[in-house]
Amino acid sequence: MASSLDQVGTITKTVADAKILLSAISGYDPNDAQSNTKADQKDRETSGLFIDKKRKIALPTQFLGEGLDPKIHATFLALIDKLRAAGHQVDEVDMPILAYSVPIYYILMPAEVSTNLARFDGIRFGYQDDTMAYDDLQAYYDHVRSTAFGPEVQRRILLGTYVLSSAHYEGFYLKATQARQKLIQDMEKTFADYDLIISPTSPEVAWKIGAKGDDPLKMYLADLYTIPANLAGIPAISIPMGMVEDREEQLPVGVQLMAPARRESTLFAAGEMIE
């Protein structure tokens, strides 16, 4: 979808299972253009040996603002109290750039989508039809791309094409790349003093399938907490932190931990401790 944002993610029942999967998929792959040449560097922490280590954890105040479900907020703060009671240092920090992570992401990601999916023209790649049935090449392109791409994909392609156009490139795309670099720098400054950054995983509980289909903006805002890790190119893990009642159901909510690049073992150790 978006080359500079893509990363491998695994879904497992336990942190231990996530460690097993990472051991199988990690490492540099010369046949993968997105694979990092530094991927074979080893952590100075060994998974499992540092579960009892006391951590310094940063809690950005921007993650506790408007839009966070009060029930998730209360469950999250209860977890923070437990971490502090267990001897971990959890400090609230100010990272204003995080408030712009959603607009940064939804400029850069569609731009890369537009570029990456341009090859799916119904001739080289993608859905194909009888070219002789169309008056010209443009009509053929219009048909195969509108037929094969769903509404959300089309929305992202059009938005990406817009921000990359000559009239809007500097005002949108270039500014978003500069803001992304600022986010990376602020993350690095935070990690110079802290082992981890903590946040809820989502500002809302899981909604019914299709409930946000008519409101894509509200759906995009649900990515507020998980976007920064992709923008900064760092690892993150989401761990269940409890259940909250919603629509007369008990639904699970998660806590997210982020660590510096290639420090997955820090995530695993802290994740096992929370688990």
Q: Give the span between the Cα atoms of 183 and 254, in whole angstroms.
A: 23
Residue 34 lies in a domain: no
Could you tell me the CATH number of the domain that includes residue 67? 3.90.1300.10
Residue 127 lies in a domain: yes
Residue 19 lies in a domain: no
Residue 38 lies in a domain: no
* Residue range of the domain that includes 211: 43-274
pLDDT digits (tens, 9 = 90+) for 99-138: 999 999 999 999 999 999 999 989 888 899 998 999 999 9
> What would you measure as the largest C-alpha separation in the chain, in angstroms?
72
**In terms of Cα–Cα distance, which of 154, 153, 173 is closest to 163?**
173
Residue 27 lies in a domain: no
Number of domains the chain is built from: 1
Residue 153 lies in a domain: yes
pLDDT digits (tens, 9 = 90+) for 229-254: 999 999 999 999 999 988 888 999 99
Residue 5 lies in a domain: no
Residue 4 lies in a domain: no
pLDDT digits (tens, 9 = 90+) for 181-201: 999 999 999 999 999 999 999
DSSP, residue by residue, 136-202: SHHHHHHHHHHHHS-HHHHHHHHHHHHHHSTTTIIIIIIHHHHHHHHHHHHHHHHHHH-SEEEEES-
pTM over 0.85: yes
Q: In 10 A of CB 3, how many CB atoms?
A: 11
